């Protein structure tokens, strides 16, 4: 672990695919608190590009990178099915580690990683950067303010229309929408749900994928004293309407990652009507004119680059953990609950595999 604040932390990145290169390396390249010291990837063209672009040491085998040492932090951006074994080896070799999502396929694997990190005395966290998304922070702020009353139903939709044919459509490589995209909205949803394990009801389908993993997920999370969460992760939605839609006892919110709007009434301005047991006069239906208040939010220009915004906030907090001992914001125990939900979803939806 780094010893004092102000120090530039040396980072090694395992994997130079889309996440390793376009997200992690792209951030470290412009963050003066971090320095890309080493890159590992089995593809020679990626290594040549990394050596030229970042001026760092390069390795075809990530184990050689760890053996060389001299790193304050290692980022595991390998393919999803390698996240657990590679992260476990990084931890056992005594390095602080950030693992890309999905962390694991099963909760028991997360327990193994948490225990190993405790034994090794290293920082272990997961790249759940969507917790820092400006739209999510605003949604949470509005809900927590109480203006909407009690949140009854929170709908989250990470939807669009796309067809895929890469390795992330394969179950054997921990592919599918729930493990590919799902960790982002599910991490957000569990923060809004609150503490405890929810009841899980899930449906999956395969619509437009070449592989054997799902590309449609409908997930309901519920529990006494908690809002009901309705989460969709669909690749066959040609008309996505919203990212968040909240129904509350005093109003509601709707919107996308770019724009949100909400309306509410104040109970003191609109007293509850007294209960009437007798038939209403003239066969009338209950109706009233509430005094509504409205507000809106648009993502600030400085936050238009969503990935850069989330990466900056994530690695800013992690820097404080590594240099000043600040508590982790993305704690592995929180992500364990996410993986437990995902595991239950797969238990409820056993999908055939290619060749079966």
On whether both 138 and 122 belong to a single domain, the answer is no
Residue-wise pLDDT tens digits, 292-311: 999 999 999 988 899 999 99
On whether both 72 and 137 belong to a single domain, the answer is no
Report pTM.
0.93
Residue 203 lies in a domain: yes
Which of 93, 127, 161 is at the close of a domain?
127
* pLDDT at residue 2 in the model: 40
* pLDDT at residue 47 in the model: 95
On whether both 200 and 141 belong to a single domain, the answer is yes
* pLDDT at residue 42 in the model: 95
* pLDDT at residue 102 in the model: 97
* pLDDT at residue 7 in the model: 92
Sheet hosting strand 259-265, strand order edge to edge: 199-205, 216-222, 228-234, 151-157, 244-248, 251-255, 259-265, 292-298
On whether both 41 and 149 belong to a single domain, the answer is no
Is the pLDDT at 214 greater than 60? The verdict is yes
Residue 353 lies in a domain: no
Q: By CB neighbour count within 10 A (0-12 exposed, 13-18 middle, 19+ buried), where does 114 fall?
A: middle
CB atoms within 10 A of CB 296: 11
CATH of the domain at 35: 3.40.50.720
Q: By CB neighbour count within 10 A (0-12 exposed, 13-18 middle, 19+ buried), where does 302 fall?
A: exposed
Residue 184 lies in a domain: yes
On whether both 255 and 276 belong to a single domain, the answer is yes
Using an 8 Å Cβ cutoff, are 345 and 202 in contact? yes
* DSSP code per residue over 318-350: HHHHHHH-PPPSS-HHHHHHHHHHHHHHHHHSP
Closest CA to 210 of 163, 155, 247, 147: 163
Is the pLDDT at 145 greater than 60? The verdict is yes
On whether both 151 and 296 belong to a single domain, the answer is yes
Q: Which of 5-9, 45-49, 83-87, 224-228 has the lowest mean pLDDT?
A: 5-9
Which of 65, 93, 127 is at the close of a domain?
127
CATH of the domain at 173: 3.30.360.10
pLDDT band of residue 283 (cuts 50, 70, 90) is: confident
Which of 287, 303, 319 is at the close of a domain?
303
* pLDDT at residue 276 in the model: 84
On whether both 118 and 142 belong to a single domain, the answer is no
**What range defines the domain where residue 165 resides?**
131-303
**Mean pLDDT, the chain, whole residue set:** 95
Give dist(CA 167, CA 101) in Å, integer: 15
Using an 8 Å Cβ cutoff, are 36 and 11 in contact? yes
Residue 333 lies in a domain: no
Residue 224 lies in a domain: yes
On whether both 69 and 187 belong to a single domain, the answer is no
Using an 8 Å Cβ cutoff, are 24 and 305 in contact? no
Is the pLDDT at 4 greater than 70? The verdict is no
On whether both 103 and 135 belong to a single domain, the answer is no
**The total number of structural domains that make up the chain:** 2
Residue 189 lies in a domain: yes
Q: What is the mean pLDDT of residues 225-231?
A: 98
Closest CA to 179 of 109, 256, 111, 75: 109
Q: What is the mean pLDDT of residues 328-351?
A: 96
Q: What is the mean pLDDT of residues 62-69?
A: 97
Residue 85 lies in a domain: yes
On whether both 225 and 272 belong to a single domain, the answer is yes
On whether both 105 and 18 belong to a single domain, the answer is yes
Q: Is the dihedral of CA 328, 332, 338, 342 positive or negative?
A: positive
On whether both 162 and 53 belong to a single domain, the answer is no
Give 262's DSSP letter: E
Whether the bond between 102 and the residue before it is cis, its omega within 30 degrees of 0, is yes
Cα–Cα–Cα angle for 48, 311, 111, nearest 5°?
Answer: 95
Residue 91 lies in a domain: yes
* pLDDT at residue 52 in the model: 95
């Amino acid at each position: 672990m780094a010893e004092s604040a102000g120090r530039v932390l040396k980072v090694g990145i395992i994997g130079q695919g889309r996440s390793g290169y376009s997200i992690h390396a792209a951030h470290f390249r412009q963050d003066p608190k971090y320095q890309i010291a080493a890159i590992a990837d089995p593809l020679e063209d990626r290594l040549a590009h990394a050596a030229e672009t970042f001026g760092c040491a390069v390795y075809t085998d990530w184990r050689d990178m760890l053996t060389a040492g001299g790193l304050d932090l290692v980022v595991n951006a390998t393919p999803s099915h390698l996240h657990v074994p590679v992260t476990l080896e990084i931890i056992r070799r005594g390095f602080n580690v950030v693992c890309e999502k999905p962390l694991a396929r099963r909760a028991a694997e997360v327990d193994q990683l948490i225990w190993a990190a405790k034994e090794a005395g290293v920082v272990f966290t997961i790249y759940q950067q969507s917790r820092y998304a400006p739209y999510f922070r605003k949604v949470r702020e509005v809900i927590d303010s109480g203006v909407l009353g009690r949140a009854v139903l929170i709908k989250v939709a990470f939807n669009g229309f796309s067809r895929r044919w890469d390795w992330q459509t394969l179950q054997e490589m921990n592919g599918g929408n729930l493990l590919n995209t799902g960790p982002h909205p599910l991490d957000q949803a569990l923060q809004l749900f609150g503490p405890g394990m929810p009841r899980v009801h899930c449906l999956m389908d395969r619509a437009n994928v070449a592989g054997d993993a799902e590309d449609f997920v409908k997930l309901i999370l519920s529990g006494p004293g908690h809002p009901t969460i309705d989460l969709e992760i669909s690749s066959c939605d040609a008309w996505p309407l919203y990212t968040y839609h909240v129904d509350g006892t005093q109003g509601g919110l709707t919107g996308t990652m770019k724009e949100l709007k909400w309306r509410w009434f104040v109970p003191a301005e609109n007293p509850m009507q007294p209960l009437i047991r007798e038939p209403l006069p003239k066969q009338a239906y209950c109706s009233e004119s509430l005094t509504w208040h409205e507000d809106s939010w648009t993502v600030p220009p400085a936050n238009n680059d969503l990935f850069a915004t989330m990466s900056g906030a994530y690695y800013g907090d992690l820097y404080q953990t590594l240099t000043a001992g600040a508590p982790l914001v993305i704690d592995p125990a929180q992500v364990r609950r996410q993986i437990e939900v995902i595991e239950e979803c797969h238990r409820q939806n056993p999908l055939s595999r290619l060749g079966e």
